[in-house]
Structure 1
Amino acid sequence: MFGIPRAPLLLGLAGLIPFVWGAISYLVPSLATWGAGLFGPRNVSLFVQLSYGTVILSFMSGVLWGFATKTRGAQAAVGYALATLPALWIFLAPATGPTSGLMNLIFGFIGVLILDFAFTAWGLTPVWWMRLRVLLTTIVVGSLSIGVLF
């Protein structure tokens, strides 16, 4: 699909499940009740989106760090510094409640996408990287937005 290798595409799409599940469990309360009974109350709606989103945003810092290893000198210093931003953002961003926590994640994922563009412009990513990242980020931000709206 879109020239993205099968393994990263399938794993990336599978990684969307908690985001989409969280959004669906906002929209269909009976599913949230069923899911809370089956998986525990921390694994539906707001809770799954906040906890899983924090993990994945930090994971994306690690991915960018890996790309930065392809650089040298001043570009390496900039690459490593930029790679730490998503994890630092979600750790330090003030969340005064559920909505602000979700908004912090939305801004974080949009920020990662901007960094993805920069790392791609530097020639550090695979040629298919941005097609995958735009697809996944669109679905993640859309899913998190449902939590903000409901």
Structure 2
Amino acid sequence: MRAIGPRIPGLALILGAAGLIPFLWGVLVVQTGAMVPPGMADPRIAVLAYALMIYCFMAGCLWGFAAKGEWSAGYAISIAPILLFIALVVLGMPINFALMIGFVLLLPLDYIFARSGLAPGWWMKLRIGLTAVVIACLIALVRT
């Protein structure tokens, strides 16, 4: 059976999957208490800091797509995720929930850029899978 859509480049898939390691490690540490580095106060903080960096990176990708197409509206769309995150946190939402909402809402924005031809054809296939794992990990960190 042939895969649907363009094939995800091997290195993009490997690096994307490797980017999940800190999330998975965080869930393992929080759920089991194993593999906690000496002196680490709360592994949730490390995972949330990493999640915020990844979130900003993903939003930054949108800026790159907008620049590729010299699309003025795309620039505005690309900063929306960061503005949303800031607004949610300023309004008192816990960072983990703001990140969950943010990662979910990044997907339709990714789709807009993919549909316009500014993101690679394989982009959504990679993003949906990675986002599903990230959201599951963020939920697992909240539920403990």
Q: What is the TM-score normalised by the length of structure 2?
A: 0.86
**What is the alpha-carbon distance in structure 1 between the residues aligned to residue 64 and residue 142 of structure 2?**
32
Structure 2 portions without partners, runs of 5+ = none
Alignment length (residue pairs): 138
**What is the alpha-carbon distance in structure 2 between the residues aligned to residue 21 and residue 91 of structure 1?**
26
Identity, % of aligned positions? 36
**What is the alpha-carbon distance in structure 2 between the residues aligned to residue 53 and residue 90 of structure 1?**
12
Aligned match for 2:20, one of 8, 16, 29: 16
Is the CA contact 1:57–1:90 (under 8 Å) kept in the aligned structure 2? no
Pairwise CA RMSD: 1.8
The 3-state SS of whatever aligns with 1:127 is: coil
Is the CA contact 1:35–1:41 (under 8 Å) kept in the aligned structure 2? no
For 1:26-72, what per-residue CA distance to the aligned partner results, in whole angstroms no more than 9, with x for missing partners?
A: 2112x1xx42317x335x2x112210011111111111100001224
Change (3 A) 1:49 1:89: farther
Alignment of 1:66-85 (within 5 A): 66-72=64-70, 76-85=71-80
Structure 1 residue aligned with 2:99: 105
Alignment of 1:23-42 (within 5 A): 23-29=27-33, 31=34, 34-37=35-38, 40-41=40-41
Structure 1 portions without partners, runs of 5+ = none
**What is the alpha-carbon distance in structure 1 between the residues aligned to residue 32 and residue 69 of structure 2?**
47
Larger helix proportion of the pair:
1
Alignment of 1:1-150 (within 5 A): 3-29=7-33, 31=34, 34-37=35-38, 40-41=40-41, 44=43, 46-72=44-70, 76-94=71-89, 96=92, 100-150=94-144
**What is the alpha-carbon distance in structure 2 between the residues aligned to residue 53 and residue 89 of structure 1?**
15
